[in-house]
Structure 1
Amino acid sequence: MARKLKSMDYIMLLSIFLIISVIVNIYSMVKLNNYKYKIGQQSYIEIEDFKQKNEINLDILAKSIEQSSIKNEDLLKLYKNYDAMSSDIMELWQQYGSYSQNAIPFFTKNIKTDKVMENEIHGKIKEYALSLLNKEMKNQANKLVLKDDDLISFKFMYDISSKISNYFNEFNNKTLNNITGEEKEKKVINEYYWIDMLDGVYKISDDYINLQWKVESADIAK
């Protein structure tokens, strides 16, 4: 009888342990999923901000190339947009790093890269735009005349923005079926499409990684 009671006690303890383990695992999974969803929410905001500023830049660049000049206020807007876009991309890489560390192996979306900083072309363009701004402030001119290296650089900037814009439009048409609003946000987060979009921007930027941007050193008040 004593042996039987001990066996039952053992089974009961084992059952309690298993129940506690299941509860802890479920809690951990829910907590992890909530964390990953918050990462996705923040990433979605940054992707949308990046896309919007890229469209604004695309319009400015197209007009500037057509006129072979750019007003100082538009040049300032370009600088601010590229600054924000560079920050968005770096934030997205940080979010991707957090996602990768907490994702289940074999069920993780991966971006194959070992040159994030070198690839981040928008930061380089930001520094180039800032250099042009400071040069114009010294010259006290109302606009920058685009010629020679500057005109070539602006054409490259336009090419990059145009390819990124086309990429996002194609992705939206094929993958998101032109859905908008909250439905679009949830799908981008739940399907981790923000990682696909980050990868797409990375691949476009990688084609221009060897471009040299003429940045003049100066004492600049940012």
Structure 2
Amino acid sequence: MNGYSIESHLKAAGLSFDALDIVEKTFKVNGVQKLRGKVVGRLGSELRREYANQNGEKDINAVSTGCYCIGIGGEYQIRYSDGFASRVVYIGSGNVYGRLKSHLKDKLFDFAHAMRGIPLTFHIADLRESKLDHKNLEQMLLDKFKSNSGGSLPLLNKNNAVNKAMDSPSESKLKAGWDKPLHKDKGKQVAKWLIEPRNFDEWKGILD
């Protein structure tokens, strides 16, 4: 699910990130949170419509047990260590829609503010009818990311999904595409720009 821009929803509300900065400096925090809430509500409605369109009218709000990856879209990837690059910035799990809205209302909004015009992407796995535990899949994705990146976690992750080793199925027993968000871009999807923060630690763990 690609192309979700907080900036575009700000414009639809007659605002911009710059205008929001001025409001934040001028008015009480409560007023700014209401504006954020309005924008996130717009984006949340778009996310629900798009998920329903792509998944046989299923409601993302009903995905009480799932796993998700947040990435950046457009022509951009994050440059990690040793020449590794990826669109993925966070891997999480739980009640998907509730978690995403919580992220968007808080630190993911700040991240989008820093990224400005670069849209967010969301990959969602509904595990309600799966025997695979959502924390298990989250950890498998984190392990695969670390293996690809030479040990780095996604930009906004600081911790593993679990604090101790857990039994995980072999990759051969999982459905094809379980790690699709981690695949390299091909063809026209290949990113043209690599970007990186000046300080990775500034963003580590903001969604954990």
TM-score clears 0.5: no
The answer to which structure has the higher strand fraction is: 2
Q: Which of 1 and 2 has higher RCO (CA within 8 Å, sep 6+)?
A: 1
The answer to which structure has the higher helix fraction is: 1
TM-score of the two chains, using structure 1 as the length reference: 0.29
Bigger radius of gyration: 1
